[in-house]
Amino acid sequence: MENCKVVVAPLACGSKFSKDDRSADLDETYYRRLIGSLLYLSASRPNVMYATSLVSRFMHKPSETHLITTKRVLRYIKGTLSYGLKFCKVEKQELQSYYDSD
């Protein structure tokens, strides 16, 4: 994936996924490792959280279609390596909370 083409979005428009996908099954261990890496990364990259959540639904019996989509997320990450969260130091720390009481 080092020399892959980057994409501008982690998911293709109109992507449809199904557990009853008819494409070839693949090694669950390899797929689970990819998903685990994406889940770890999504802690600091919330822009890939939805796509990661979507592809993680198929860890029980992944197909070639699911792997292609997972690799698309990786291609998106390659194109956005400079993205991330920035936590700045502030002088006054203030805790805010909101609640709804009926």
Q: What is the pLDDT of residues 32-62, one digit of tens each?
A: 999 999 999 998 888 999 999 999 998 888 8
Does residue 83 sit within a domain? Answer: yes
Phi, psi torsion values for 25, nearest 5 degrees: -75, 160
Helices vs strands, H then E, count in the chain:
3, 0
Does residue 49 sit within a domain? Answer: yes
Report the pLDDT value the prediction gives residue 74, as an integer from 0 to 100. 94
Does residue 1 sit within a domain? Answer: no
Does residue 11 sit within a domain? Answer: no
Does residue 36 sit within a domain? Answer: yes
CA atoms within 13 A on the CB side of 52: 21
Does residue 9 sit within a domain? Answer: no
Does residue 8 sit within a domain? Answer: no
Using alpha carbons, select from 12, 11, 13, 6 the residue that is nearest to residue 80. 6
Report the pLDDT value the prediction gives residue 60, as an integer from 0 to 100. 87
The number of distinct structural domains making up the chain is: 1
Does residue 61 sit within a domain? Answer: yes
Decide which of 91 and 70 is more confident. Answer: 70
* DSSP state letter for 25: B
Range of the domain at 33: 16-102
Percent of the chain with pLDDT over 70: 98
Decide: 39 and 59 in contact? Cβ < 8 Å: no
